[in-house]
Structure 1
Amino acid sequence: MTEATPRLAIDIDYLGAQLAALLQIPSPTGYTDSVVRHVCHELESLGFDYVLTRRGAIRAHMKGAQPKGARAIVGHVDTLGAQVKALKANGRLELVPIGSWSARFAEGARTTIFCERGTYRGTILPLKASGHTYADEIDTQPTGWPHVELRVDARAQTHDDLVRLGIDVGDIVAIDPQPEFLGNGFIVSRHLDNKAGVALMLAALKAMKDGPEPPVDVYWLFTISEEVGHGAASILLPDVASMVAVDNGTSAPGQNSSEFGVTISMADMTGPFDYHLTQKLVNLCRANDIRFRKDIFRYYRSDSASAIEAGADVRTALVTFGIDASHGYERIHMHSLRSVAELLTAYALSEVEITRDFEPVGPLEGFTKQSSEPAGQALTAHKPPPPRKR
């Protein structure tokens, strides 16, 4: 059983302020430079060293008692968005999504278009948007990306008008988050996946900056392309033995996730997460009185999947904050964000239990064991047998 690690206090005001700031920075996959700069400046203010990959993924370093068997905690700064597919004859734009999300949630969204000349504002509308023109057809038209278009807030009635504005195929479109922070702790916004994860990671770092030294090095990773499947494919160092991804858990009918406490994912569409690392996180929640539950996500993958598929031999797990209406108008609660941040600090400071992981390969000695004993037997295995009746 994992021993309790002293709980570190999480600055809720700081967490909320960081989330609000992150939400105001457009960062659809492929257009993440500004949010990367923000996170880097925040790491500097907290006193942590970091390096950037060529494209902008961030690796912050928290020095531990030794480098071997290092841990990684990873979240992504990129969000959903869209891209210009075509300039239409009516002066509007055809779109394709960045990441997997429904055009149903795109309808009515306010947007920013990034083109070579600068930015334009606009609105995503269904092809038949006016009830005064189309009557009941506005309710019977199909839903999907071929059935919406982007109206640019500039003088554009023709294809040539769009060309004169400098808009072109491939331009990135960011979707306004429209956040609301409610007094009862609920937060409603687009892009809480995964701006909330980044904010709580920064809050955990703030709590740890003057705390005890971790037993091994901890790398805090911020990736830039998780929404399109790349994620942590090329940011891990060889010394990293285990990695915990931070992302959203889908609270919906048929799921066990909650908007309160921590939801620990047991598996996603790529298969089960590491048995021993996941159990360690469960035990840390129990030992530190952190509310938790478990769930399985069937149509979901995280940063950990990209690392494993890229060939990284690391133990992986996924901890989540419950989110309602994921990839739409999302809702979370501050209780869950605080709980996940607390768990991250407990994990980073906990003792290493599988010391064989200090080396990438080794003998059978010290290798892990998964119990196959009947339920209840493991609890009494070390008790002496009852006296035999004469």
Structure 2
Amino acid sequence: MTLIFDNPYPDLTNIPLGINIDKSYVMALLLECLETASPTGYTHTLMNRLSVEAAHLGYKMERNAKGCGYIRVKGSNPNSNRVIALSAHVDTLGAMVRSVHTNGTLRLTSLGGFMANAMENEYCTIHTSSGKSYTGTIMTNQPSVHVFSGARDLKREESVMIVRIDEVVNSKADVEQLGIRTGDYVSFDARPQHLPSGYIKSRHLDDKASVSALFGLLHSMREYNWQPVHDIVIIITNYEEIGHGASFIPQDITEMIAVDMGCIGDDLNCKETDVSICPKDSSGPYDYFMTNRLIALAERESIPYAVDVYPHYGSDASAALRGGNDIRAALIGPGVHASHAMERTHEQAIINTAILLAAYITE
């Protein structure tokens, strides 16, 4: 094998792409994804729905043993030795029943990394192993200032968070009669809204905004009859929030773009209308040539973008590299405000993320 240590990509064309991404399709799919519970470890319902959607678009979603999905698209250049993976994840933050209190409330253990106060007073759904579901509200064990003198100053942490179940339960036995037990999943209500201004505010835009962008690419290929130059593999992962979503990927992949939310705040440049291009996160730097290629393509396509370093962040590309896969890797995605809390992005960022990806796979 010949090792190449300089720029492996051909000169960039100066001709704008001119590919259309159907905003109405992308937004409709996004809202449906947001309304479908998929806390990490409990993603089968949404993964099955996306498998059906892929088939509707004329593609097959294959699944690996842990449920990750792969959609392959043939490139137009039979002589290309590049196989490009584009990944996004359906798993979201959530919780699991740790135990049942004697008063009939639930103690939680978190799934994914978030602040306890970010889920306080949120509506939720308990998904039992028998297939039944029950609604509830997440709160502290001192939920009222009229009763608890320390309610305002109580440190919000996992040990004080409970679920008040919307059923007549007063004891642990009452809860067990419902079929709720330790290990049942708890999803947070997303409460998505697509506003006339173009903003989408919801929980779990991380990373369902990117999933909808990737399916927008597939939809565009079908509707407008175009294909990538190189073979691509759309990877939909289901364990990203706990770090091993794309730890294993098909061995023919040579480069990978993780498509995940861009962060906003502190010394960062990204806005909710921007496409984020991240040269480095907590896992280290991404591929120099891929990152610069994406920047050049964003400028060619007149896409508003920002380049930011994310010190408290990891991606599916990070997991793939740590898993020993011999790939180049990059990270982009729509700008999302208040990540892992009540998030917000803009339709422009999602559509432009898809356009930037289209530019990359057609060069």
TM range (shorter): over 0.9
Deviation track 1:311-350 (CA, whole Å, cap 9, x = no partner) reads 0010000011111100000010111111101001111111
Partner of 1:141: 154
Partner of 1:52: 63
What count of residue pairs does the alignment treat as equivalent?
A: 348
The alignment status of 1:204 with 2:214, answered yes or no, reads no
1:277 pairs, out of 274, 279, 290, with 290
Partner of 1:128: 142
The alignment status of 1:194 with 2:207, answered yes or no, reads yes
Partner of 1:309: 322
Query: Separation in 2 of the partners of 1:326 and 1:58?
Result: 24
2:28 pairs, out of 17, 40, 57, with 17
Q: Which amino acid aligns with 1:204?
A: L
Shift of 1:215: 2.2
Shift of 1:292: 1.4
Tell me, what secondary structure is at the counterpart of 1:138? coil
Tell me, what secondary structure is at the counterpart of 2:175? helix
Shift of 1:5: 5.0
1:2 pairs, out of 9, 12, 23, with 12
Q: Which amino acid aligns with 1:347?
A: Y
Q: Which amino acid aligns with 1:227?
A: E
Shift of 1:211: 3.3
Query: Separation in 1 of the partners of 2:136 and 2:129?
Result: 16
Query: Separation in 2 of the partners of 1:290 and 1:211?
Result: 23
- Residues 107, 47 of structure 1: alpha-carbon distance in 2 compared, 3 angstrom cutoff: same
* Larger-gyration structure (1/2): 1
Q: Which amino acid aligns with 1:255?
A: L
- Residues 13, 213 of structure 1: alpha-carbon distance in 2 compared, 3 angstrom cutoff: closer
Shift of 1:254: 1.8
Deviation track 1:67-97 (CA, whole Å, cap 9, x = no partner) reads 6321110000110100111111111111011
Deviation track 1:165-220 (CA, whole Å, cap 9, x = no partner) reads 21111111011001111100111100000111101111111112243332221111
Contact 2:120 2:140 in 1 (8 A): yes
1:308-327 superposed matches below 5 A: 308-327=321-340
Question: TM-score under structure 2 normalisation?
Answer: 0.93
Q: Which amino acid aligns with 1:290?
A: I
Contact 1:2 1:287 in 2 (8 A): no
Query: Separation in 2 of the partners of 1:89 and 1:159?
Result: 5
Contact 1:68 1:239 in 2 (8 A): no
Question: TM-score under structure 1 normalisation?
Answer: 0.87
Q: Which runs of 5+ in 2 are unaligned?
A: 1-10
1:1-390 superposed matches below 5 A: 1-3=11-13, 4-64=15-75, 65-66=77-78, 68-117=81-130, 118-134=132-148, 136-209=149-222, 210-234=224-248, 236-350=249-363
Q: Which amino acid aligns with 1:158?
A: S
Identity %: 33
Shift of 1:7: 2.5
Query: Separation in 2 of the partners of 1:58 and 1:5?
Result: 31
Query: Separation in 1 of the partners of 2:71 and 2:166?
Result: 40
Partner of 1:361: none
Contact 2:145 2:152 in 1 (8 A): no
Tell me, what secondary structure is at the counterpart of 1:317? strand
Query: Separation in 2 of the partners of 1:195 and 1:325?
Result: 15
Query: Separation in 2 of the partners of 1:222 and 1:155?
Result: 39
Shift of 1:274: 0.4
Q: Which runs of 5+ in 1 are unaligned?
A: 351-390
Tell me, what secondary structure is at the counterpart of 2:28? helix
- Residues 223, 173 of structure 1: alpha-carbon distance in 2 compared, 3 angstrom cutoff: same
